């Protein structure tokens, strides 16, 4: 039986579910706590005899430690229970539930996942209505023109003895405003027509690019080679890239990915990853490139390579000096806001204060169903250096799922203030739209 | 004749021109400003009988202007008609909390603006 890269994750999940200390489990199976810690962090493979011993000590089958489905069910049902304020004493019997009623447990987990997905949609729609600057400005422009036309036309209609000079002035105003109105209406229709409509509403160019990359699995094969001559024709054929702005952004990304691939060629990267794992600093040293290049490259490798090496799923965020997110690759359990900046506590933003310093932090998503992530972040100068000009920085943050010990100091973070239930937070800039039920 | 003075704080010149015309025709002495800071200075130095206030201004929004007016003794009770393209209930509620006298959404009927202003000043 093959043991997947996340067996350690499942061992840890089962142990913490039972409230067992790492040292106690290590003693029971005859290994050192530090060795068990490495296993739980997926840094050491588990031998078959040790897997059996661990399964026995944890009171589960060894299959339960190597199969994804069961663990997802445990996590999903547990998250649903925590959200619903279920009696915690019953939470310990989650294995009984899944063992006896796997179908019901699956329904519970899926319902919880659906609630979370719908909450994200609500947030995105809310953001769209509140924060889409183009839509807001376009509508304001149209209403202003309509107001002027209506008010002026009423004057011309109501006042038969209007002074000729005023008449001329008002006619001119109506002409000007009707032109504004026509232009504004056409622009608004074009904006709506050229954008995608889906469950979350109209897409912005950046969202079109992200949708395209998500469908492609965040890897475009042509960027591994030297020739991008067919890039524009390829981008024209991508259904997600409806707007010219999106295709322009996407072309920029193809060039960026190609440059990153040249800095860390695929075959050499595969060897290095097998040797070092996802260690950005060691990879940067080995390839003689910046940590930011490594972070971007790790988020854009072929799916086959990730599967072969058992690499964990990753998320990526890039922001400019204003904190505006320029790129978002979400990771299961860690979503990025569609509009505005993210959580000010992310290392992404801390990196901007210390350019060229690679940061590493453990994060836990705020709330009772918090999930843990490891984050690497660095801010580097973008573009050519300019004499007597302030540098333009871009920060990059790579996210990885992470296991953590109870004593670890993980930073509680949110996606954005609007969806973060952590009310007492010095970094909060606006109220949350979530009702936590706490 | 004691002519009433009204200040129109509106950054859309064609709208302010139309308002100036209809109010002048109704017997008002109309002054126009297009930005909030200049309007606040004028309001403090010579408070008019009423203010027509646009919500979206280039330098500060109408809520900030209203907040500033209500914080000053000279303009605490100045009748304010807020005109806005934003008619969301949250904006109405905030305007009410800040002490707006009337709230009217754009586009408006000229006669409604005139009658609103008359009733505000009369009361």
Q: pLDDT tens digit string along A338-397?
A: 777 889 999 999 999 999 999 999 998 876 567 889 999 999 998 887 788 888 999 999
Q: Alpha helix (H) ranges present in A30-163?
A: 33-40, 48-58, 62-66, 68-83, 88-91, 94-100, 102-131, 133-158
| Proportion of chain A in helix, strand, coil states, percent, rounded to 5 | 55, 10, 35
- Whether chain B has a CB inside 8 Å of the CB on A63: the answer is no
Say yes or no for a CB contact (<8 Å) between B21 and A154.
Answer: no
Average pLDDT over residues A98-113: 78
Say yes or no for a CB contact (<8 Å) between B18 and A155.
Answer: yes
Tokens for A174, please give them: 């109506």
Does B86 or A332 have the greater pLDDT score? A332
HSE-up of A352 (CA within 13 Å, CB side)? 18
Does A161 or A191 have the greater pLDDT score? A161
Q: Alpha helix (H) ranges present in A238-397?
A: 244-263, 266-276, 280-287, 291-298, 303-309, 347-353
Q: Residue for token digits 């990153």?
A: A260
B11 vs A116: CA distance, rounded Å: 43
A191 vs A204: CA distance, rounded Å: 9
Instruction: Provide the b/e sequence for B102-121 (b: ≥16 CB within 10 Å).
Output: bbbbbbbebeebbebbeebe
- The pLDDT score that the predictor gives to residue A437 is 37
- Whether chain B has a CB inside 8 Å of the CB on A138: the answer is no
Q: What is the CA radius of gyration of chain B?
A: 13
A312 vs A39: CA distance, rounded Å: 15
pLDDT tens track for A58-103: 888 887 777 656 666 777 777 777 766 656 677 777 766 776 777 7
Distance (Å) from the C-alpha of residue A114 to the closest C-alpha of chain B? 30
Which residues 166-195 in chain A show a CB within 8 A of chain B? Answer: 166, 169-170, 173, 176-177
- pLDDT beyond 80 at A6: no
Tokens for A176, please give them: 């000007």
Q: Model confidence at A174, in pLDDT bands (50, 70, 90)?
A: very high
- The pLDDT score that the predictor gives to residue A19 is 84
Does A117 or A246 have the greater pLDDT score? A246
Residue A379 main-chain phi, psi, to 5 deg: -115, 135
Of A372, A286, A279, give the one whose Cα is nearest residue A332: A372
Q: What is the DSSP letter of A315?
A: E
Considering only alpha carbons, which residue of chain A is nearest residue B108? A147
- Residues of chain A above pLDDT 70, percent: 86
CA A164 centroid distance within chain: 62
Q: Model confidence at A299, in pLDDT bands (50, 70, 90)?
A: very high
How crowded is residue A379: how many other Cβ atoms within 10 Å of its Cβ? 27
* pLDDT, mean over chain A: 83
Respond yes or no on whether ipTM tops 0.85: yes
Which residues from B are below 8 Å from A155, CB to CB?
A: 18, 21-22, 110
A422 vs A368: CA distance, rounded Å: 10
Nearest CB to A147; choose among B15, B25, B86: B15
**H/E stretch holding A360:** strand A359-365
CA distances from A54 to A22, A29, A75 (A): 11, 6, 19
- The pLDDT score that the predictor gives to residue A3 is 43
A221 vs A225: CA distance, rounded Å: 8
- Whether chain A has a CB inside 8 Å of the CB on B25: the answer is yes
- The pLDDT score that the predictor gives to residue A225 is 92
Interstrand relation of A372-381 and A393-401 (parallel, antiparallel or unpaired): antiparallel
Which residue, among A126, A148, A167, would best test binding to B if mutated, counting the most B CBs under 10 Å from its CB?
A148
CA A294 centroid distance within chain: 18
Say yes or no for a CB contact (<8 Å) between A155 and B21.
Answer: yes
Of the listed ranges A23-37, A305-319, A420-434, the least confidently predicted one is: A420-434
Average pLDDT over residues B71-76: 90
Give me the total of CB pairs closer than 8 Å, taking one residue from chain A and one from chain B.
Answer: 53
Which residues from A are below 8 Å from B52, CB to CB?
A: none
- The pLDDT score that the predictor gives to residue A171 is 92
pTM: 0.51
B30 vs B38: CA distance, rounded Å: 16
Considering only alpha carbons, which residue of chain A is nearest residue B19? A151
- The pLDDT score that the predictor gives to residue A196 is 47
Q: What is the DSSP letter of B107?
A: S
Nearest CB to B107; choose among A146, A155, A169: A146
Q: Model confidence at A436, in pLDDT bands (50, 70, 90)?
A: very low
Tokens for A241, please give them: 């890239």
Q: Contact at 8 Å (CB) between A155 and B18?
A: yes
Beta-carbon contacts of residue A136 (< 8 Å; ≥ 6 apart): none
Q: Model confidence at A407, in pLDDT bands (50, 70, 90)?
A: very low
Distance (Å) from the C-alpha of residue B120 to the closest C-alpha of chain A? 21
Beta-carbon contacts of residue A387 (< 8 Å; ≥ 6 apart): none
B83 forms beta bridges with B54, B104
Say yes or no for a CB contact (<8 Å) between B12 and A170.
Answer: no
A201 vs A134: CA distance, rounded Å: 14
Which residues from A are below 8 Å from B25, CB to CB?
A: 159
- The pLDDT score that the predictor gives to residue A438 is 32
Say yes or no for a CB contact (<8 Å) between A173 and B108.
Answer: no
Beta-carbon contacts of residue A293 (< 8 Å; ≥ 6 apart): A259, A260, A263, A264, A284, A287
Q: Residue for token digits 């003895």?
A: A161
3-state secondary structure B38-92: HHHHHHHHCCCCEEEEECCCCCCCHHHHHHHHHHCHHHCCCCEEEEECCCCHHHH
- pLDDT beyond 50 at A52: yes
Domain boundaries, chain B: 5-122
Say yes or no for a CB contact (<8 Å) between B106 and A147.
Answer: yes
Tokens for A295, please give them: 């972070």
Average pLDDT over residues A303-318: 91
Q: Residue for token digits 């290392």?
A: A347
Tokens for A378, please give them: 């660095």
A17 vs A95: CA distance, rounded Å: 9
**H/E stretch holding B98:** helix B89-98
Which residues from A are below 8 Å from B107, CB to CB?
A: 143, 146-147, 150-151
Say yes or no for a CB contact (<8 Å) between A177 and B106.
Answer: no
Helix, strand, or coil (residue A331)? strand
Q: Does domain B5-122 have CATH number 3.40.50.2300?
A: yes
- pLDDT beyond 70 at A182: yes
Say yes or no for a CB contact (<8 Å) between B18 and A139.
Answer: no
Q: Contact at 8 Å (CB) between A153 and B15?
A: no
Tokens for A242, please give them: 């409806």
């Amino acid at each position: 039986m093959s043991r997947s890269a996340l067996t350690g994750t499942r061992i840890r999940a089962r142990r913490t579910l039972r409230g067992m200390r790492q040292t106690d489990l290590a003693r029971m199976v005859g290994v050192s706590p530090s060795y068990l810690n490495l296993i739980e962090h997926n840094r050491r493979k588990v031998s078959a005899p040790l897997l059996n011993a661990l399964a026995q000590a944890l009171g589960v089958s060894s299959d339960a430690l190597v199969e994804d489905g069961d663990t997802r069910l445990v996590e999903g049902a547990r998250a649903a229970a925590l959200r619903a304020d279920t009696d915690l004493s019953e939470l310990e019997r989650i294995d009984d539930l899944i063992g006896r009623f796997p179908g019901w447990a699956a329904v519970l987990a899926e319902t919880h996942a659906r609630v979370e997905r719908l909450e994200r949609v609500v947030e995105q729609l809310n953001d769209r209505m509140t924060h889409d600057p183009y839509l807001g400005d376009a509508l304001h422009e149209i209403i202003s023109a309509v107001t002027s036309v209506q008010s002026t036309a009423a004057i011309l209609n109501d006042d038969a003895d209007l002074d000729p000079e005023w008449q001329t002035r008002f006619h001119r105003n109506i002409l000007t405003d009707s032109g504004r109105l026509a232009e504004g209406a056409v622009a608004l229709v074009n904006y709506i027509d050229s954008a995608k409509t889906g469950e979350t509403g109209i897409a912005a160019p950046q969202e079109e690019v992200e949708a395209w990359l998500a469908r492609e699995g965040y890897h475009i094969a042509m960027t591994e080679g030297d020739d991008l001559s067919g890039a524009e024709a390829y981008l024209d054929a991508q259904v997600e890239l409806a707007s010219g702005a999106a295709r322009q952004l996407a072309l920029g990304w193809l060039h960026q990915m190609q440059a990153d691939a040249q800095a860390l060629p695929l075959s050499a990267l595969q060897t290095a990853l097998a040797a070092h794992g996802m260690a950005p600093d060691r990879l940067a040293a080995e390839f003689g490139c910046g940590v930011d290049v490594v972070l971007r490259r790790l988020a854009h490798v072929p799916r086959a390579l990730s599967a072969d090496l058992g690499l964990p799923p990753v998320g990526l965020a890039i922001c400019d000096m204003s904190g505006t997110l320029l790129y978002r690759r979400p990771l299961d359990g860690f979503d990025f806001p569609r509009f505005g900046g993210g959580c000010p506590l992310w290392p992404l933003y801390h990196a901007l204060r210390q350019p060229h310093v690679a940061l590493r932090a453990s994060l836990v998503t705020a709330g009772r169903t918090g999930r843990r992530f490891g984050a690497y972040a660095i801010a580097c100068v973008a573009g050519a250096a300019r004499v007597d000009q302030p540098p333009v920085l871009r920060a990059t943050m790579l996210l990885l799922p992470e296991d953590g010990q109870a004593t670890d100091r993980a930073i509680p973070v949110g996606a954005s203030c609007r969806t973060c239930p952590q009310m007492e937070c010095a970094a909060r800039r606006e109220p949350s739209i979530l009702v936590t039920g706490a | 004749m004691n002519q009433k003075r009204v200040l129109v704080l509106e950054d859309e010149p064609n709208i302010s021109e139309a308002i100036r015309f209809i109010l002048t025709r109704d017997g008002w002495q109309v002054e126009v400003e297009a930005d909030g800071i200049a309007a606040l200075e004028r309001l403090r130095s010579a408070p008019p009988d009423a203010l027509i206030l646009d919500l979206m201004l280039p330098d500060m929004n109408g809520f900030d202007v209203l907040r500033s007016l209500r914080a000053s003794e000279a303009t605490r009770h100045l009748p304010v008609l807020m005109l806005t393209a934003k008619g969301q209930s949250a904006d109405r509620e905030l305007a009410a909390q800040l002490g707006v006298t009337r709230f009217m959404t754009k586009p408006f009927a000229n006669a409604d603006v005139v009658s609103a202003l008359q009733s505000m000043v009369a009361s």
